[in-house]
Amino acid sequence: MEQKIETGRVRSVETLLKARSVAIVGASPKGRWPTQIFQNLKKSGYQGDIYLVNPNYSELWDQPCYPNLAALPKPAEHLLLLVPTQVVVRTLEEAARLGSKAATIYSAGFGEGEDEKGKERGKALKELCDRSGMVCCGPNCMGSISVNEGLFSFPTAIPLVRPGPVGLIFQSGGSLGNWVKGASERGIGFSYAVSSGNETSLDLVDYLSFLIEDARTEVILLLIEGVRRPKEFMVMAAWALEKNKPILVVKIGRTERARRQAISHTGALAGSDDVFDAVCHRFGLIRCPTLEDLTETTLAFMPSKRARGERAAIIVNSGGMKGLLLDHIEEVGVQLAQLSEETKNAVRPLIPADLVVENPLECGVAGFGDEKGFLEICRLHAVDPGVDLLAIHGELPRGERRDAGLFRNFAGLTEKPVLAFARSSYSLTEESRDFQDQAQLPFLQAIKPTLRALKGLGFYGRTRNEGVRQLAPAKGKAEDLEGDNLKRLLEAHGLALPHEAAAVDPKEAAARAEEIRFPVALKLIAPDLVHKSEAGAVVIGLRSAQEVEAQAARLLKLSSSGSAKLLVQEMVEGTEMIVGARTDPQYGPFLIAGLGGIFVEVFKDFAIRLLPVDEKEAAEMLKTLRGYRLLEGMRGQPRRDIPALIRAITGLSQIFSSHRAYLSDLEFNPLIVRPEGSGVAAVDVRMIR
């Protein structure tokens, strides 16, 4: 069923993934791919008609082979095209006339590089699909797998694929085959797996819509290089969150060879990958840094238990394992639960007297050999109201006899997510996979991927509980951004300007400085100066009228603009921040906040969120900064006015959200955070229409 969403059209993929008949066009015993696809369809139990098409054969693999599409007993609903690139469009034109509805195009040469003929073919293919209503997977893809339907059009063998709750869309076919093979060995089961290729016809949004609607798909995985329809993608992400279907993402291209030229620090710092991170944060998408992490996090989400919050309890049997955990918990950002006194008192007699009852908990000998006793300790943690989710030490058997029912009984006692994990990776046997199925508990491998999966579970649960904040309509007026109106607007939103005065020549600048009182800062304001500090157009700490006059004369020589002027400003002491907002061409308005000076320039210490940003999110942004301790006060420095900074961040969010129709960038760099109780000062404001 085709569904309309607010920013574009979603095309149905049912005729592709649920086709009642397929034709292998280009079937040949000489080709590895057509042979393997035919074998996959047979072995997977596909119940639809399978037609073979090749004019060079009358029979293949003990069934008829037809010379062309017109010779088929009836039109195949889904064509698997293994033909040369040059004849793909012509073949599809004939197929559309005959009544076929979908096609998978394995061949490349449709505009991937700089080949002009390839681009023309890609354009012709898109026009054909738009005109005929036919939908295509690819080109330059490796097909798809509809596990429950047995429609296995992937050209390689994946022997352990089995039904399950996981649906995935990979823009890399080779990565899909490799990952699904390894994930199947770990006991992960699938509903659908799609290699989307160049996405000339069907794209990520279309497949995502299908998986969100599909009743058997409970967890969705994406490996993406780019999002062609970002607004629709965000609508889908919000819909998936509403339907309690987690989306796990591996995104290729975290670093960029070159960022888009920008005339503000906000634009220069915030690359598309940083803004995509903000999208994930807003809509509850769990971003996995590696394919290995994708495996562990998928296992963690498969039981469909969702956390109510982020407070985790971790129980292990070894001091060394606890030490390894403590080395990484803070780095990964796992929030540890505070155990209740009742829990501590109940656990105390169950572990050796020389061990401390704390989180993470080391059980010592209580965790070796006696799984029943170990799981009783875990149960006591699970019933603690301050615990939202649990990670417990556990490895799957490989040869030894163990009772999976103990784990199953424990998992059944709580609705909180529970995952078992080992400190390092190991190989699984069929016995291991059976034990995991019977235990009804995911068994993860390696400490850091486990901690990231634990963090993902908590983050998703919290995001679902809080919901997605919507951006309000832009109701601000253009005149709000002019002259004194702008000053009043900023002050009303916690962005007060320091005392300042404009001047057109050195003598007037000196006079204004005496009125403001020394020391002062002097700046040159000119349309041909983008970054004043880099151009040497800012002088600070001037303590006399003579100094101001001399520096003003020098500054005016830096600009050739006839409209250049001078700005005299009071010196403001405090911690420098950068706070800016702009509209990303793909994902919309966002806000950046970071420590100023070298922290943002060299260390890239900043946080980004989509607008709107409320006080809670602003506070969380600041706490993610590596330099946050500077705001808290250290080495004799006073604590800074963090509440005023939070107010300034939310104020910028409100101003930019309301006036985004008139603004490209609005940036405060630096925004000086004064000592606690003294507020902030927007020392340098850059507004770009």
Examine the domain organization and report whether 107 and 213 are in the same domain. yes
Is the pLDDT confidence value at 425 over 70?
A: yes
Clarify whether residues 17 and 151 are in a common domain. Answer: yes
- pLDDT tens figures, 337-387: 999 999 999 999 999 999 999 999 999 887 777 889 999 999 999 999 999
How many helices (H) and strands (E) the chain has is answered by: 23, 32
Last residue of a domain, one of 233, 268, 292: 292
Average confidence (pLDDT) over 102-130: 89
The DSSP bridge pattern shows strands 144-146 and 500-503 to be unpaired
Closest to 392 measured CA to CA, from 419, 424, 423, 364? 419
Q: Are residues 665 and 680 in the same domain?
A: yes
Count of structural domains within the chain: 4
- pTM for the structure as a whole: 0.91
Residue 597 is predicted with a pLDDT of 73
Residue 666, SS3 per DSSP: strand
Domain boundary among 570, 597, 619: 570
pLDDT digits (tens, 9 = 90+) for 519-560: 999 999 888 776 677 778 899 999 999 999 999 999 999 888
Identity of the amino acid at 105: I
Say yes or no: 455 and 557 in one domain.
no
Mean pLDDT rounded to a whole number for the chain: 92
135, 11 contact by CB (below 8 A): yes
- pLDDT value for 111: 77
Give residue-wise pLDDT tens across range 410-423: 999 999 999 999 99
Q: 459-477 pLDDT, tens per residue?
A: 999 999 999 999 999 999 9
Its domain, for residue 503, covers 499-570
pLDDT, tens digit (0-9, with 9 covering 90-100), for 137-160: 999 999 999 999 999 999 999 989
pLDDT at 599 over 90: no
Three-state secondary structure of 60-74: ECCEEEECCHHHCCC
Q: How confident is the model at residue 266 (pLDDT cuts 50, 70, 90)?
A: very low
List, in sequence order, every beta strand (DSSP E) within 504-602.
Answer: 520-525, 538-542, 565-570, 575-584, 588-595
Mean pLDDT across 605-609: 94
Residues 589 and 559 in one domain: no
pLDDT at 256 over 70: no
- Residue 114: pLDDT above 80? no
Q: Pick the last residue of a domain from 570, 595, 624.
A: 570
670 and 613 together in one domain: yes
In tens, the pLDDT along 276-326 reads 999 999 999 999 999 999 999 999 999 989 999 999 999 999 999 999 999
Token duo for residue 180? 């699904």
Q: Is residue 263 scored above 60 in pLDDT?
A: no
Statement to judge: residues 97 and 217 lie in one domain: yes
Residue 25 sits in the same domain as residue 145: yes
Structural domain contains residue 480: no
Same domain, 220 and 338: no
Q: Are 283 and 241 in contact (CB under 8 A)?
A: yes
Residue 637 lies in a domain: yes
Do 562 and 428 belong to one domain?
no
Q: Evaluate if residue 231 carries a pLDDT over 90.
A: yes
Distance from C-alpha of 4 to C-alpha of 45, rounded to nearest angstrom: 34
Average pLDDT estimate for 509-518: 94
Question: How many angstroms separate the CA atoms of 231 and 585, rounded?
Answer: 10
Helix (H/G/I), strand (E/B), else coil: 156: coil
- The answer on 579 and 566 residing in a single domain is no
Using pLDDT thresholds of 50, 70 and 90, give the confidence band for residue 271: low
Give me the pLDDT at residue 261, please: 34
Q: What confidence score (pLDDT) does residue 1 get?
A: 32
Asked if residue 450 has pLDDT above 70, the reply is: yes
* Domain identity same for 579 and 541: no
Percentage of the residues of the chain whose pLDDT score is greater than 90? 82
Say which CATH number the domain at 597 has: 3.30.470.20
Measured CA distances, 573 to 15, 89, 150, 491, 570 (Å): 66, 68, 69, 19, 10
